[in-house]
């Protein structure tokens, strides 16, 4: 039991000790933010270059979850999770752990693909400003 407690205490100050963030933010001043991980970020970065009203948060790892992530979404209008699974595991995990559903004025939506194909540039056409 003592060993388990010791292991979990290592995670308490992980980000301060390591000097590392569990996420990366691109265009932090945008009012609408995409959240994704992995290779999906490459196409989103290209989309953001042509649509500066959007920003991007790339999740580098989920455990331990960096609580400073909430500071990045506070004051935003909309958060859009991009996931390659049907159930939206990342969205559920982050929203439950950090309580994002209770942030006033924040709209949380998603775009999911579960056909084993990656996100292509055409998948972002619905987000373009007309």
Residue 120 lies in a domain: yes
Residues of the chain with pLDDT under 50: none
Q: Total domain count for the chain?
A: 1
CATH of residue 44 = 3.40.50.920
Q: Cα 85 to the chain's mean position, in Å? A: 15
DSSP 36: E
DSSP 117: P
Angle, vertex CA 121, rays to CA 61 and CA 115, nearest 5? 70
pLDDT at 22: 82
Adjacent-strand bridge partners of 103: none
43-59 burial, b for 16+ CB within 10 Å, e for fewer? bbeebbeeeeebbbbbb
pLDDT at 4: 87
* Three-state secondary structure call for residue 129: coil
Residues 6+ apart with CB under 8 A from 61: 22
Residue 6 lies in a domain: no
Residue 2 lies in a domain: no
Residue 113 lies in a domain: yes
Residue 4 lies in a domain: no
CA distance 124 to 119: 8
CA distance 59 to 61: 6
Residue 5 lies in a domain: no
Q: Strands (DSSP E) along the chain, which ranges?
A: 23-26, 32-36, 54-59, 78-83, 107-112
Give residue 36's domain range. Answer: 19-127
CA distance 33 to 106: 11
Residue 23 lies in a domain: yes
């Amino acid at each position: 039991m003592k060993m388990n407690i010791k292991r979990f205490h290592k995670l308490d100050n992980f980000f301060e000790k390591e000097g590392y963030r569990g996420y990366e933010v691109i265009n932090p001043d945008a009012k609408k933010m995409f959240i994704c991980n992995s290779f999906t970020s490459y196409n989103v970065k290209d989309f953001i270059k042509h649509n500066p009203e959007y920003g991007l948060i790339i999740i580098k790892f989920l455990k331990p979850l960096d609580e400073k992530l909430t500071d990045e979404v506070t004051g935003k209008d909309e958060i859009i999770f991009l996931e390659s699974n049907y159930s939206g595991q990342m969205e559920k995990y982050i929203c439950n752990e950090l309580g994002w559903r209770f942030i006033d004025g924040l709209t949380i939506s998603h775009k999911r693909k579960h056909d084993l194909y990656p996100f292509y540039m055409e998948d972002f056409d619905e987000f373009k400003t007309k």
